[in-house]
Amino acid sequence: MSAEKPLRIALLSYRSKPHCGGQGVYLRHLSRELVDLGHTVEVFSGQPYPVLDRESITLTKIPSLDLYNDENPFRTPSLGEFRDWIDVLEFAHMRTGGFPEPLTFSLRILRALKKRRRDFDVVHDNQVLGLGNLGIPKVLPLVTSIHHPISQDRKIELDAARKIGGWTGIKQYFGKIRWYGFVRMQAYVSARIGRILTVSSSSKRDIAKDFRTDPGRIHVLPLGVDTGIFHPRGPREERVPGRIVAMASADSPLKGVDVLLRAVAKLATERDVHLVVVSRPQKDGPTEKLVKELALGEKVRFVSGVSDEELGDLLASAEIAVVPSRYEGFSLPAVEHMASGTPLVASAAGALPEVVGDAAVLVEPGDVEELAGALRRLHDSPEERARVGEAGYRRVQERYTWSAVAKATVEHYRAAIASAR
């Protein structure tokens, strides 16, 4: 196959939330840039389905039972909703406390690709890593993206359950062990498939270690940012005074929103600040309870379901941005904040130091006092905010563009095709 010939690409994702969740963001922007390069892209996704930016991209829905719908999680389907044995497996797996979607999506997509092997040149798996993936290389060349090993999420959530203690902590601990049972499957699959793409050297090390995968098969390819959405708006002086913004899954211990809330509560006793978190916390969940415990009231606001333009405006309106995660394999939100020219405070966790370089203020992950101090210093110094914000903006322009990501990804596709031959 010549280097110039356009490729026919099947892009897989078992769930594809467009705004909160790196998989959906990655799928959206990569698919757009691939078709803009002249390739043909068909996206195969389970619920929630992705937002796609080009009419020429085909979305083929591979529906699950949608057992984790935001409006009705852990629902019991009616008998008529069961279509085959995979649906029965999915429901039984959920009812025993596990998370079946990577496994069941992989079985469904393998069945679909077997019928359409002549329609594609290459398959790109967006971190499904289900057992069905082991059959894909027998059908078509396969490239796999692993943004970071979910073993890191499991470790942090198990640590959080241990700290709770008592019967509640014990229940949560063993519940998390069952929920994250799919991680063992992902490690097994990772060690047995071909070319793997990941987003940082930190993630490469963790994949090789946690998933016992040959590092020679793992290739680092950073993510990009949509500068049409994320860019500065107007003079820095027009930003909303005292506004701090974060994009993070509110109830996940991994994302450190609890640390951020405690730091903002300290700062709010002495400075006029308020926090906006792009997320929807679980009703009566740990985040809502912590907000009440800290008596933050109108000092914190959660937003969700916003449009791209509204999200870009929000990020560019803040005086300070925060990524308080306890671990990140890359962190698209960090890059999006920097692209907006907003000075960033980030945890020195996982790949974050690698991603932000010297263009952000780094703090110890989980350290409330240090985070509050960093926020205080930036709040009190317009000059420091301007310096950090401009450094972040420059770093994005130099390193993180989706067009470059797509071009490099195509080279990995061609290498996988050549190897399969």
Same domain, 182 and 320: no
Residue 2 lies in a domain: no
Same domain, 71 and 104: yes
pLDDT reported for residue 98: 96
Q: Which of 342, 364, 97, 155 is nearest to 232 (CA)?
A: 342
Same domain, 20 and 111: yes
What lies within 8 Å, CB to CB, of 210 at 6+ separation is 149, 151, 152, 187
Burial of 272 (0-12, 13-18, 19+ CB in 10 A): exposed
Cα(145)–Cα(411) distance, rounded to whole angstroms?
Answer: 14
Same domain, 114 and 242: no
HEC-encoded secondary structure of 304-335: CCCCHHHHHHHHHHCCEEEECCCCCCCCHHHH
Residue 53 lies in a domain: yes
pLDDT reported for residue 20: 54
Same domain, 214 and 278: no
Q: Which of 216, 142, 202, 151 is nearest to 181 (CA)?
A: 151
Torsion angles phi and psi, residue 324, rounded to 5:
-95, 20
pLDDT reported for residue 75: 94
Cα(2)–Cα(383) distance, rounded to whole angstroms?
Answer: 53
Residue 305 lies in a domain: yes
Same domain, 366 and 412: no
Same domain, 351 and 340: yes
Looking up residue 372, the CATH number of its domain turns out to be 3.40.50.2000
Residue 56 lies in a domain: yes
Per-residue pLDDT of the chain (421 residues; tens, 9 = 90+): 445 799 999 999 999 987 656 788 899 999 999 999 999 999 999 999 999 999 999 999 999 999 998 888 899 999 999 999 999 999 999 999 999 999 999 999 999 999 999 999 999 999 999 999 999 999 999 999 999 999 999 999 999 999 998 999 999 999 999 999 999 999 999 999 999 999 999 999 999 999 999 999 999 999 999 999 999 998 888 999 999 999 999 889 999 999 999 999 999 999 999 999 999 999 999 999 999 999 999 999 999 989 999 999 999 999 999 999 999 999 999 999 999 999 999 999 999 999 999 999 999 999 999 999 999 999 999 999 999 999 999 999 989 989 989 999 999 999 999 999 8
Same domain, 43 and 115: yes
pLDDT reported for residue 200: 95
- The helix/strand/coil state of 129 is coil
Q: What stretches of 21-61 adopt beta strand conformation (E)?
A: 40-45, 58-61
A 10 A CB-CB count for 1 gives: 10
Same domain, 251 and 336: yes
Same domain, 83 and 184: yes
- The helix/strand/coil state of 45 is strand
Number of domains in the chain: 2
Q: Is residue 182 a contact partner of residue 151, using CB atoms and an 8 Å limit?
A: no
Q: Is residue 13 a contact partner of residue 7, using CB atoms and an 8 Å limit?
A: no
- Tell me the C-alpha to C-alpha distance, in Å, between residue 240 and each of 11, 33, 301: 40, 33, 14
Same domain, 359 and 211: no
A 10 A CB-CB count for 227 gives: 17
What lies within 8 Å, CB to CB, of 377 at 6+ separation is 361, 384
Tens digit of pLDDT for each residue in 262-274?
999 999 999 999 9
Total residue length of the chain: 421
Q: Which two tokens stand for residue 11?
A: 């892009």
Tens digit of pLDDT for each residue in 372-408?
999 999 999 999 999 999 999 999 998 998 998 999 9
Q: Is residue 136 a contact partner of residue 155, using CB atoms and an 8 Å limit?
A: no
Torsion angles phi and psi, residue 220, rounded to 5:
-85, 125
Residue 69 lies in a domain: yes
Cα(160)–Cα(170) distance, rounded to whole angstroms?
Answer: 11
Question: Domain of 346?
Answer: 236-399
Same domain, 255 and 280: yes
pTM: 0.85
pLDDT reported for residue 21: 60
Residue 273 lies in a domain: yes
Residue 230 lies in a domain: no
Cα(267)–Cα(286) distance, rounded to whole angstroms?
Answer: 21
Residue 229 lies in a domain: no
